[in-house]
Amino acid sequence: MAEQTDTAPRATSNRSTTPGSDTFKRYIGSEWAERTDILPASREEAPFAAARRARLSAAYPGKRLVIPAGRLKQRSNDTDFPFRANTAFTYLTGWGSDSEPGSVLVLEPADGGGHEASLYFRERAGRDSDEFYANPEIGEFWIGPRPSLAQVASDLGLETLGIAGLDAVVASSDENTLVLRDADPELTLLLDIAVEQATTGQATTGQQDEAALPAITSSPRAEEADTASGSESLEQKLSEMRLVKDEYEIAQMRLAVAATARGFDDIIADLPRITSHERGERLVEGVFNGRARADGNAVGYDTIAASGPHACILHWTRNDGPVVPGDLILIDAGVELDSYYTADITRTLPVDGRFGDEQRMIYEAVREAADAAFAIVRPGIRFREIHATAMGVIAQKTAEWGLLPVTAEEAIEPENQQHRRYMVHGTSHHLGLDVHDCAKARREMYLDGVLEAGMVFTIEPGLYFQPDDLTVPESFRGIGVRIEDDILVTATGAENLSAAIPRTADEVEAWIAAAASKR
C-alpha cells in the first residue's frame, strides 16, 4: 500500500517522501488535459427520492432538516473502513455506493411552504491545488476521479453546493434546526453549539468563536463527539417512512435476492474445495463475498458460515472451522446492491448432499414453522402474529419429541415459554436499506404494527440444539437449523421473494446433486 504524505490527514511525517519544493508543485500542477464533464441523466431512483423528501417535508413544516451522509471511520492507524453512507441520507438522495464521505443534505423551509433541498459535498480539487496528489483520503491520485457539483446535480436531480457553504448553515441554525444526530457526531456537536447560542446567547460547550465552525469543512474525518438528546422524532420518522417500500425499493429487493441466490449456487458448486480445507467456513464466506462484490456493492452484513455445532451459535461470523461431510452447514448471507438494498437469506445444507434421518426431521420441522408463518401474512394482521404462529409450531414439535416438561399448549403461555430454549431469537425483522431495517420505528409501528402492502421482512424460524444440552437426545446435540426467506406483503397476501432458492429437504438434496453432476 502506498504511503501517505506529510500534508494529508492523519499523515505520518516520519516516513513521508512527497516532494515539497516549489519546483515540484509547479511541475505536477501543469500540463494536464482539460476536463470535460459529461453530465449523466438522472438515475432511476431520483424521482422516488424526491417523493420521499416531499413526504418528510410535509411532516416538518418550518423546520430546517439536516441529514448527513457521515464520515470515514478509522480501521487502524491511517487506514479506513470502506465508506457507507448513512441509511437515511441514501433514502432521501438516492446516493448509494458512489456517495461522497462528509456530504450533507439540507432541507431548508421555503417561503411558500415546503422545503428546498440542497446537497453539500466536498467538490473535487483543481490541479492547481495539492489536494489531488497529497491527500490520500480525497485526492484523485489516491482514490480516483471524483464527481463535480454539476455531475452530481444532474445525476440525483438535486441542487448541489460546495461543502464550504455548510458553514453558513451551521452558523444560522436555531431551535428550528433538526439534525439526524447519529450520522455525523462532529456536525451534530457544531449544530448543538450554534442552536444553544442562538437560543440562549451562550453555547453549552463553551462560547464558540469564528474558528469553531470551519471545523466541519477543514477535516474529512469526524472525531468522536458527545451527542445531546433531541431530534429523536426525525430518526423515528425516517425509520417509519421506510416500513412500506416504494416501487423502486421492491425492484431493488428482487435484484438483491436474485444476486444472493447466485451466491448460494456458487457455494454449492465449490463444496469439494470447501470440504477439503481445514477452515472451509472461511472459503464459504469468501465464495459468497466474491459474488457480492461482483454483482453488488458488498455483503449486507457479515456472512454466517456455521458448520456442525457452530450452527447453534446464532451470529457465528468467525467462520474458522472445517466443513465436514455428515454435518449440516447453516449459511446466512445477503448481497447488498450499489443502491444499498440488501437481501437476508438463510439455508441449511447437508454437507455431503443427504440429510440424516434426524437432521431431516429437524429441518422439516423448521420449514413447517416457516410455512405456517408465511401462510398468515396479509395486510391487516399484526406483525407480532407471524412470530406467534411460528412459535406455535416450534412448541408443538419440541413437545412431540419429548423435549419439554409441559405440553405445547402450556409452553406457549407467556409465563412458561420452555420451547424458546431451542429458538431464542425472533422470527421476523424488516428488511431494506439495512439488514435490520427501520430499527428506530416505534414499537406500535413495528412489533405491534399492522401489515401493509409494500412491507418487506424476513421469516426465519430455527431450532438449535447446543452440543452440551442435556435436555435433548445425544443425537440432536450440535444440530442447528434455520430457514430464512424475504417476504413482500402484497395487496391480497404475500410473496416469498426467495422462494426460488430450494427450501424443502428434497429440493435441497436435489440442488446439491445437480451441482455435483456438473463438476
pLDDT at 203: 59
Angle at 394 between CA 388 and CA 398, to 5 degrees: 145
List all residues 6 or more positions away from 277 whose beta carbon is below 8 Å from its beta carbon.
Answer: 283, 322, 323
SS3 112: coil
* Predicted local confidence at residue 12, as pLDDT: 58
Instruction: Single out the residue of 478, 461, 460 nearest to residue 469, CA to CA.
Output: 478
Q: What is the SS3 assignment for 117-179?
A: EEEEECCCCCCCCCHHHHCCCCCHHHHCCCCCHHHHHHHHCCEEEEHHHHHHHHHCCCCCEEE
Residue whose C-alpha cell is 450440535? 478
Give the single-character DSSP code of 345.
E
Q: How many residues does the chain have?
A: 519
pLDDT computed for residue 227 by the predictor: 35
| Model pLDDT, residue 4 | 40
> At the top level of CATH, which class does the domain 247-517 belong to?
alpha beta
pLDDT recorded at residue 253: 98
Identify the CA nearest to 503 among candidates 478, 481, 519, 518: 481
- Domain boundaries in the chain? 13-241, 247-517
* Closest listed residue to residue 480, CA positions, set 315, 328, 259: 328
| Collapsed DSSP state (helix, strand, coil) of residue 232 | helix
Q: Are 106 and 169 in contact (CB under 8 A)?
A: yes
Tell me which residue of 372, 371, 375, 386 sits closest to 451, measured CA to CA. Answer: 386
Question: For every one of its 519 residues, what pLDDT tens digit does the chain have, with 9 covering 90 and above?
Answer: 444 443 444 555 677 778 889 999 999 999 999 888 899 999 999 999 999 999 999 999 999 999 999 999 999 988 899 999 999 999 999 999 999 999 999 999 999 899 999 999 998 888 888 888 888 888 888 888 889 999 999 999 999 999 999 999 999 999 999 999 999 999 999 999 999 999 887 755 544 444 444 444 433 333 333 333 444 589 999 999 999 999 999 999 999 999 999 999 999 999 999 999 999 999 999 999 999 999 999 999 999 999 999 999 999 999 999 999 999 999 999 999 999 999 999 999 999 999 999 999 999 999 999 999 999 999 999 999 999 999 999 999 999 999 999 999 999 999 999 999 999 999 999 999 999 999 999 999 999 999 999 999 999 999 999 999 999 999 999 999 999 999 999 999 999 999 999 999 999 999 999 999 998
Q: How far is CA 286 from CA 2, 73, 334, 336, 438, in A?
A: 25, 23, 13, 15, 29
Cell 445477503 belongs to residue: 334
Single-letter amino acid code for the residue at 76:
S
- CA 328 to centroid of chain Cα atoms: 27
> Could you give the C-alpha distances from 66 to 122, 176, 235, in angstroms and in order?
16, 11, 11
Q: Which CATH number fits domain 13-241: 3.40.50.720, 3.40.350.10, 1.10.10.10, 3.30.1130.10?
A: 3.40.350.10
pLDDT, position 204: 55
Beta partners for 450?
Answer: 382
Total-model pTM: 0.92
